[in-house]
Amino acid sequence: MMMLSNSPWFESPAITYSMVMLNSLCWGLAGPANDAMLIDVSTPDQRRLIYSIGYWASNLSVALGGIAGAFMFENYLFELFMALTIAAAVTLCIVYFFISETYFPEKVEVKPLQHITHIVGTYRNVMQDRLFVWFIAGGILVLSMEFQLTSYIGIRLSEEMPTQQFLFWEVDGVKMMGFLRSENTILVVLLALFTAKLITGMKDRFVLVTSCLVFTMGYAALTFSTNVWVLFIMMAVLTIGEVFRVPVEQSYMAAIPPDDKRSAYMAFGGLQYNLAMLIVSVTVTLSGYLHSIIMGILLTLIGLAGTFILFRITPNLDRRKLETEQKVG
């Protein structure tokens, strides 16, 4: 529909907007089921590698999509949507014809009202899992640091960073944002595939807490500094923390839910993105009233708070993960 609504013969911004909303809604429904199916067909020992590959693939696809969109959006929008339509159709065929269901819950006939009551009860049970709620809370605080790059940090650099020489270019705050995002994407694509091997033999708790601390300190430097070389080096440092954190964090996420509630847990976990963005919107609003130094301290404390929460709960997470592995065994 987006392709047809941006064709040489017909244009409709309203239909395009509606289809973007529908697309987001469908992904919100499919994402938790996708995550749950991945857990169903994997063992705890395999998940570090699986999540590293998934993280690498998602970043590579975002990079390639961003490049394609930059070159095609203005003059070849119809062709771009046509390519996306074909890609979505291929994905649909793969899911329908080549992926088999592995979880078969007992079928029970229920009335619509009973179904709604069951859904509400399921999410109430998820909320009562205090370990999971604290895990999500810590993840939200740490993740909010990452989203600051394209919000508060980008605003601060554009306003405060003087033009400097960087290799062969004269760089101001806006251009530096582009360099930092490109550096992050390139390093993730280069490093993510090797992460699983590098952390083999390391304890998950050590990897998660250390990587979150490195990640937070890297972003803390970005909230204070305007030196081009400090920004460049600290982006490399925090990216290393990022690629170590993600597969271990997702591995913990996979170990927490009981088998019959995985989709509900994954759906609740998916709120991390939205709640982290809510924190970002609040901090951007506060930046209009607070000095940049105070903002830097505030953002650093947010990241450290998330790291501390994960540090406190990881012993319980390890016990939960061990119980899951024993059930699989």
For every residue of 53-121, DSSP letters joined together read HHHHHHHHHHHHHHHHHHHHTTT-HHHHHHHHHHHHHHHHHHHHHH------PPP----HHHHHHHHHH
Q: Percent of the chain, pLDDT > 70?
A: 90
Helix axes 152-160, 204-224, angle to 10 degrees: 30
Give the chain's mean pLDDT.
83
Residue with tokens 């987001």: 24
Average the pLDDT over 295-324 and give the result.
Answer: 88
CA distance 123 to 126: 5
Confidence class of residue 328 from pLDDT cuts 50, 70 and 90? low
Q: What confidence score (pLDDT) does residue 326 get?
A: 64
What are the phi and psi torsion angles at 170 (to 5°)?
A: -90, 120
The SS3 assignment for 202 reads coil
Q: Which two tokens stand for residue 164?
A: 């400097």
**pLDDT in the model for residue 179:** 80
Among 18-27, 51-60, 294-303, the range scoring the smallest mean pLDDT is 51-60
**Beta-carbon neighbour count of residue 260 at 10 Å?**
11
Higher pLDDT, 180 or 258: 180
Burial class (CB in 10 A: 0-12, 13-18, 19+), 67: exposed
Please tell me which residue, 225 or 31, carries the higher pLDDT value.
Answer: 225
Residues of the chain above pLDDT 90, percent: 19
Residue 111's pLDDT band, with cuts at 50, 70 and 90, is low
The strand pairing partners of 170, in sequence order, are: 165
pLDDT tens, 112-152? Answer: 666 667 666 766 777 888 888 899 999 999 999 888 887 88
pLDDT by residue (tens digit) across 47-84?
Answer: 767 777 887 888 788 777 777 776 777 788 899 899 99
Distance CA 46, CA 81 (A): 36
pLDDT surpassing 90 at residue 28: no
User: Cα 39 to the chain's mean position, in Å?
Assistant: 17
